[in-house]
Amino acid sequence: MSQLDILPESVSTGPKHPEFTAIYANYFAFVWRCLRTLGVPDRGLDDAVQEVFIVVHRGLAGFRGESQLRTWLYGIVRNVAYKQARRVRRKERAEPIDDQMRSSEPTPSERAEEAQAANFVHRFALGLDHKKREIFMLAMVEQFSIPEVAEMTGVPLNTAYTRLRAARAEFRAALERHRGAHDSTG
């Protein structure tokens, strides 16, 4: 019997099921970044991440095959992200992106630079239409290959290439504008 077959509905036997823990450990950062980049506001991020892993936990028993794991997981992430984003944004108007960025403690310059880059990339991604956004996020932020991205998003390979090309061009232009603005103020 596969290890995945014995995962129970609850964690009453907890530590005997390393698969879920391995998935949590290995995919947490991926899930977190995807949810953020797909537009889940920070105030809803914890709940959204939990939601993803609860679905994973419940569905793991029926899951087969490692090659589909990330596709399956990303499908969950995508559903939760859109549902959560809709829910939060319905409640209250979205705050300006800068306010949504996580407040950062005073940090060394390198951390500040990273936060600035994250702010820029996050804002850029949220400005893309959702089809290009997920291609941008998976291919450029998460660095999956285009065939992988096509598989995960369920779009034809050529479509994925086309969207990526467009997203890259927009990214380049946005970065140049950003640099220009930064240079002129600096």
Partner 1 sequence: MTRLDDAEAQVLEQARRALGPTMQDQERVLQSLLVRISAPPGTTPSPSNGVRAKSATWPLRAGWSVVVIGAIALSGGLGYRTGFEAGIAKQRSGNLGTNASLPAPPEPSREAAPTPVATAEHAPRMREPDHESVSHPPVTHVDNAPHTASGARPSAESVVAIEKLGLDEEVRQLRRVERAIRESNPRFALVLLEELEQAIPKGQLQEERDAARIMASCQLDADDAVADARTFIKKHGSSAYRSRVVEICRLASAPSERISPAPGTDAPEMENQR
Choice from 76, 142, 150, 163 touching partner 1 (CB under 8 A): 142
Choice from 64, 83, 111, 182 touching partner 1 (CB under 8 A): 111
Choice from 33, 89, 130, 131 touching partner 1 (CB under 8 A): 33
d(CA 56, CA 34): 16
Burial class of residue 66 (count of CB atoms within 10 Å of its CB; 0-12, 13-18, 19+): exposed
From the list 86-94, 127-135, 165-173, the region that binds partner 1 by CB under 8 A is 165-173
From the list 91-99, 127-135, 164-172, the region that binds partner 1 by CB under 8 A is 164-172
Shortest distance in whole angstroms from residue 95 CB to partner 1: 18
Choice from 5, 7, 25, 95 touching partner 1 (CB under 8 A): 25
Binding to partner 1 (CB under 8 A) within 59-98 occurs at 66, 69-70, 73-74
Helical axes 45-59 vs 69-91, angle rounded to 10° = 140
Buried b or exposed e, range 86-119, using 16+ CB within 10 angstroms:
eebeeeeeeeeeeebbeeeeeeeeeeeeeeeebb
Alpha helices in the chain (DSSP H): 18-37, 45-59, 69-91, 97-100, 109-127, 130-136, 146-153, 157-185
- Give the total residue count for the chain: 186
List of residues 6+ apart from 1 with CB closer than 8 A: none
Choice from 62, 64, 95, 117 touching partner 1 (CB under 8 A): 117
14 binds partner 1 (CB under 8 A): yes
Choice from 89, 97, 148, 170 touching partner 1 (CB under 8 A): 148
Listed residue (122, 48, 52) closest to 85, CA to CA: 48
Interaction site with partner 1 (CB under 8 A): 3, 10-12, 14-15, 18-19, 21-30, 32-33, 36-37, 46-47, 49-51, 53-54, 57, 66, 69-70, 73-74, 111, 113-118, 120-122, 140-144, 148, 161, 164-165, 168-169, 171-172, 175, 179
